[in-house]
Structure 1
């Protein structure tokens, strides 16, 4: 016979409230655990559906935010272009105007256009090297000033030119090219370059990113008519 049985019977008779209360509490825990276990699949399905709905809402919100941001950017660009066009027309100084829509460079004196050169415009670009380096080129817009002018400049071809073509970068001494940016080079104070088409070097058949290239015979008269600090309106 189990000796523990009389002890359990005696404990139950001596403490009936505690004993039966404990039994009821244990039974309640078991029932609650069973109910939760039965509801878990339902909770999972509801949570998954809620997550999917939230994801769709988030995607819609993100698309709307991006659309509004794009609209604001376009409006800001349009306002800047309008402002630059007005400032170019209102100034009495000799200046240059780059009209992006028409791809032209104009030499102006007040409202009068003295010379015009057709431009090839380099695109905005990002060049990434295998070692993690990158070069970002963004076409200028707004008011700039001429920083320097050079004729038949000898340049050191930048590393990114070779990287963009998947070619090994030669030593610096081997990258020096006489007339590598054509016969005429006008550099602006933000690094933007206006130049005539080169006849030699790796840049002779391409337009540098965010740069402006013209034919030498179109650029020569403009080159001779401007000087350092001449305003340039890009719009």
Structure 2
């Protein structure tokens, strides 16, 4: 299926879905299905599950394979693909199963990996937004490293950036609407104390409340605060309190 899609779309990489299992985990991940969208999402996070990608040999030869000095080898590689002008596509089918465990390299070295990913993210942002240099300082100062905590001000900036991205994509797929929720933890929003402070700040500051006063932004904000799954008991209870 992936090879067929590469040929039909004249692409260099085809991404498939992944089924995760192990240690109580059972979920499936699917890539963006809109051609051209994966490239934009690379500015925020690694939007590709490495084991699910089928890549043309010529493309690997062109970009020079993995960087052995980068902790985020896969993200680093995809950004090099992006800068080389190579084309991504995807299929909405599971092509690989992945067992998850706490001793995996990705989990045990989480902060180191996410800090390293910041460099790759900045490279992607510089490439994607080079035609609009005025926005670069704000994007590059967001502090979205995995071991840093996202401040409320940075969250609002990220929401605005999300809106800009969604407008660019014209809401073509669910990924463009929900990618920010899917990637909260990878971005590093993992501080419950900061979340509680932010929650009360949100209630008290009307301008912030007005800014995020519709369902999608409300969902994103609660995920930001408490790493909550939309629809869960605590999520619904807090949502009811603030009347949204």
Bigger strand fraction: 1
The interval holding the TM-score normalised by the smaller chain is: under 0.3
TM score, norm. by length of structure 1: 0.24
